[in-house]
Structure 1
Amino acid sequence: MGDCRPLGFLLGLPFALVALLLSLVGAVLWIIGTIFSCLCPCCVCCAGLVNFAVDLIKLPFKILKWFTDHIPC
Structure 2
Amino acid sequence: MGDCRPLGFLLGLPFALVALVLSLVGAVIWVIGTVLSCLCPCCICFAGLANMAMGIVKLPVKLLRWFIEKIPC
Aligned: 1:55 with 2:55:
yes
CA RMSD, aligned part only?
0.6
TM-score normalized by the length of structure 1: 0.97
Runs of 4+ in 1 over 6 A off after TM superposition: none
Once the two structures are TM-superposed, the CA of residue 44 in structure 1 deviates from its matched residue by: 1.2
Runs of at least 5 residues in structure 2 that lack an aligned partner in the other structure: none
Runs of at least 5 residues in structure 1 that lack an aligned partner in the other structure: none
Q: Which amino acid aligns with 2:19?
A: A
TM-score normalized by the length of structure 2: 0.97
Aligned length: 73
Percent identity, aligned pairs only, is: 74
Once the two structures are TM-superposed, the CA of residue 42 in structure 1 deviates from its matched residue by: 1.0
Once the two structures are TM-superposed, the CA of residue 41 in structure 1 deviates from its matched residue by: 0.5
